Structure 1
Amino acid sequence: MMSKRDASTALDALAQRLLEIFSNQVLAEPRPYLLGLSGLQGCGKSTLARTLVRQARGRGWPAQTLSLDDGYLGRRARARLAARAHPLLATRGVPGTHDLRLLHETLDTLADASAAHPVALPRFDKGHDTRKPPSRWPQVRVPPRLIVLEGWCVGVPPQSEAALHAPINALERDEDADGRWRRHVNDALTDMQDLWKRLDALIVLQAPDWPTVCRWRAEAERPLREREAPHAMDDAQLRRFMQHYERLSRHALHSLPARADVLIRLDAARRVTAIRTRPSLGML
């Protein structure tokens, strides 16, 4: 197993290589370069996003990371959505539980950030399962040259109508028998395509398979339990929670490699086993 020091060194090297491949494009853009970073739960995308931003700043590039998770609707908003559309929408995560207007407005205004007119970056508190108050959002006072938009379903296309017919797990079979929830989610994913169209490039961290993703997500939940966070999940709750994500996660595993500008394949220990780039970007 890789030590923490070796893992950190490998991550720094990966981030450095990625910035090299995108350097010319980033520097040529008159506006912030929007780099999508997609990866299923627990794959390390948030850590890679922070490393990319840190190293970009080391190059003298103002840079920011924006997480799709920070656009989640709060508990009360999701409760209203669940009452109106479907009870399963009370659980955060799937398309339809994000505030797309907030994400678009944040991206729109970052290019004009200044000391006189700072831009607040939204933040979501997963331990309390709701959005942090705006007074606790970090302020951006310099227009970024690079923005890394990271999230578990960044770049994922909607499914076909035929793919929605059969339930794929117990949650869909027992709590979405008529398919109304999964169709709502798919419609919301269609709406998210406008957000993906803003991306200048897409990096995909490709997990080996869905069972590995579930194990990674369980590892990520452990610190919340240890801190006794109010909304930390036990094993049974986490299994049910993950079934909300299963359909689109499996869809992402199949659909994203063809859409990636840079595809980074991971093994079960999150080690990079292969990197593929589009020919137009050159070789890493």
Structure 2
Amino acid sequence: MESADAITLAERVLGRFAAPIAHASKPFILGLSGLQGSGKSTLATAMIDAARDRGWSAATLSLDDVYLTRAERQTLGRQVHPLLSTRGVPGTHDLALLASTLDALDKAAYERPVSMPRFDKGHDDRYAEPLWPEVPQPPMLVILEGWCLGLDPQAEAALAEPINALERDEDADGVWRRWVNAKLAEYLPVWRRLDALVLLQAPSWEVVARWRDQAEWSLRARGEPQAMNKDEMARFLQHYERLSKHALDTLPAKADMIVTLDRDRHRIG
């Protein structure tokens, strides 16, 4: 999503929810859901700027910010299933940290600022806590964004057959996907905290996979050691494929506002 498009869309979203945000007695939590590469972070940043232009205090938090530490995920990989060492799927987030952060924002004060978790994807671990930004007062608006935000678990019958090579070769008995699906149910109390849900709806899973690969292009061009090559990226994306397709099919019915995107991440309509 280009910056100019994000600015225009940010104003449109805030205009849609302006009244409930302005009259809320506690921070208004606006959920922003969209699959990988759909422009969530760009839009969230534009929304923060637009909110502040209106005189609203605002803060943003991503599900990516509350991933379990690398050590914690490695432990899951040993104790539950090796695929859980890879961040991203439900069960690899620290829901207690997310809940306590959202709870604390309502009580933020200059003498008691709230530290907002941040995750370093380059090192696949959280930033040290002293590096987390602080919120010194209760924000009027909190933007919570994430790729699976608002998603319900799949039906048990949908889990029976593998949908890609990763599931077929590395989760043949379905232990990983069933564990992830069960963990997704534990996210529902977080979804219920959302005052509204905005959905960036991608055209298809194939387009999402291309978007996510594009994010690695600059890293590859610079020779960054953490950059994934095409084969590594293809495998990485298979961790997300099942629930991403589920999101494409089911989230539109749950969203309060849908932003339909074309293949180039431009808004349709």
TM-score range, shorter chain: over 0.9
The letter of the residue matching 1:245 is: Y
Which residue pairs with 2:234 in the alignment? 239
TM-score (norm 2): 0.98
1:155-166 superposed matches below 5 A: 155-166=150-161
Q: Does 2:159 match 1:176?
A: no
Q: Indicate yes or no: 2:114 matched with 1:119.
A: yes
Q: Identity of aligned pairs, percent?
A: 56
Q: CA offset at residue 233 of structure 1?
A: 1.1
- The question of whether the paired residues in 1 share the 8 Å contact of 2:202 and 2:262 is answered with yes
Alignment partner, residue 268 of structure 1: 263
68, 73, 87: which is aligned to 2:68?
73
CA distance in 1, matches of 2:118, 2:218: 19
Amino acid at match of 1:129: D
Residues 42-100 of structure 1, C-alpha deviation per residue, up to 9 Å, x if partnerless?
Answer: 01011001111111011110000100100111211100011111100000000010000
CA distance in 2, matches of 1:190, 1:246: 18
Unaligned runs of 5+ in 2: none
Give the AA of the match of 1:168. I
Structure 2 counterparts to residues 115-154 of structure 1, below 5 A: 115-154=110-149
Cα distance in 2, alignment partners of residues 185 and 139 from structure 1:
32
TM-score where L is the length of structure 1? 0.92
Counterpart residue identity of residue 9, structure 1:
A
Q: Distance in 2 between matches of 1:267 and 1:49?
A: 19
Cα shift readout 1:96-120 (whole Å, capped 9, x = no counterpart): 1000000000000011111100110
Q: Are the counterparts in 2 of residues 127 and 229 from structure 1 also a CA contact under 8 Å?
A: no
CA 132–226 in structure 1, closer or farther in 2 if over 3 Å, else same: farther
Q: Does 1:188 align with 2:183?
A: yes
Q: Which of 205, 214, 217 lines up with 2:200 in the alignment?
A: 205
Amino acid at match of 2:102: L
Counterpart amino acid of 1:157?
A: D
Query: In 2, Cα distance between the equivalents of 1:226 and 1:118?
Result: 40
Tell me the distance in 1 between the aligned counterparts of 2:222 and 2:131: 21
Instruction: Mark the runs of 5 or more structure 1 residues left unpaired by the alignment.
Output: 275-284
CA contact (8 A) 1:128 1:229 kept: no
Contact 2:34 2:199 in 1 (8 A): yes
Distance apart, 1:230 and its partner CA: 4.0
* Cα distance between partner residues in 1 of 2:229 and 2:36: 17
Query: Which residue does the alignment assign to 1:15?
Result: 10
Q: Is the CA contact (8 Å cut-off) linking 1:129 and 1:231 kept in structure 2?
A: no
Alignment size in residue pairs: 269
